[in-house]
Amino acid sequence: MSNAQAVTDADFEGQVEQAAGLTVVDFWATWCGPCRMIAPILDQLAVDYVGQVKMTKLDVDANIKTATRFNVRSIPMLLFFKDGKVVDQIVGAVPRQAIEAKLKQHVAAA
C-alpha cells in the first residue's frame, strides 16, 4: 500500500492545484522500471514529511489529459506544487538525497 495518494484527471485540480502548502506529484506508469525504483523512496518521504508535504501519484496512462497539460514527456517526473503552482521538477530516477534536498528547499521556504 502506497503512502502517496493517487490522483486522477477528475480530481487533480481539487487535490493538487487547490491544495495549500507543498504537494509533490509523481507522474508514473505501471510499465516504467525507473518509476518502480523511486516509488519506495517517495512512500518513505511521505511518511517522513507527513504534515509538511502532500505526496501524490498520477498514472500517466490512465490520466492523459493532466499528463499532457503539464507536458510530461519522460517518466518518472516529479512536479513540486506550492499553493497550486508548479515551483520545481525532477525528471528521471534520482537518489533519495536529490528528492529530499528539493523537499527541504521548498518546505523551508514555506
Determine the pLDDT at residue 41: 96
Residues 6+ apart with CB under 8 A from 87: 80, 81, 106
| Angle at 103 (CA atoms; ends 99, 106), nearest 5 degrees | 140
- pLDDT digit string (tens) for 73-83? 999 999 999 99
**Contact assessment for residue 27 and residue 89, using Cβ atoms and an 8 Å cutoff:** no
Q: Tell me which residue of 40, 86, 31 sits closest to 62, measured CA to CA.
A: 31
State the CATH number of the domain containing residue 14: 3.40.30.10
- pLDDT digit string (tens) for 32-48? 999 999 999 999 999 99
The total domain count for the chain is: 1
Q: Is 63 helix (H, G, I), strand (E, B) or coil?
A: coil
- For the annotated catalytic residues, the residue numbers are 32, 35
Structural domain harbouring 82: 5-108
- pLDDT digit string (tens) for 98-108? 999 999 999 87
